[in-house]
Structure 1
Amino acid sequence: MNIEVIHLGPMANCTYLVTQDGNALLIDPAWDMNALEQTLKAKKLNLLAVLFTHGHFDHVKTAETLLKAHGLRAYIEENDVLLSGLPGEVLQPYHGEQNLQIGPFKVHIIPTPGHTAGGVCILIGDALFTGDTLFPGACGRVDLPSSDPREMRKSLYRLSQLPDDTQIFAGHSYGGKSGSFISYERQTNPFMRNAIKDKDIL
Structure 2
Amino acid sequence: MLLYQFRKGTNPRRVIIYLAEKGIDVPRYELDYENDEHRSPSYLNVNPSGRAPTLVTDSGLAITDSAAIVEYLEECHPDRPMIGTDRASRARVRSLERLGSDLVARGQLWLWNRTAAFPAKEPNPSNETADRAHRYVSELLDVLEREIEENQFLAGDRPTVADCTAFTIFQTARERFDLPFGQGHPRLDAWYKRFRARPSADY
Q: TM-score, normalised by structure 2?
A: 0.32
More helix by share: 2
More strand by share: 1
Larger radius of gyration: 2
Q: TM-score, normalised by structure 1?
A: 0.32
Higher RCO structure (Cα 8 Å, ≥6 apart): 2
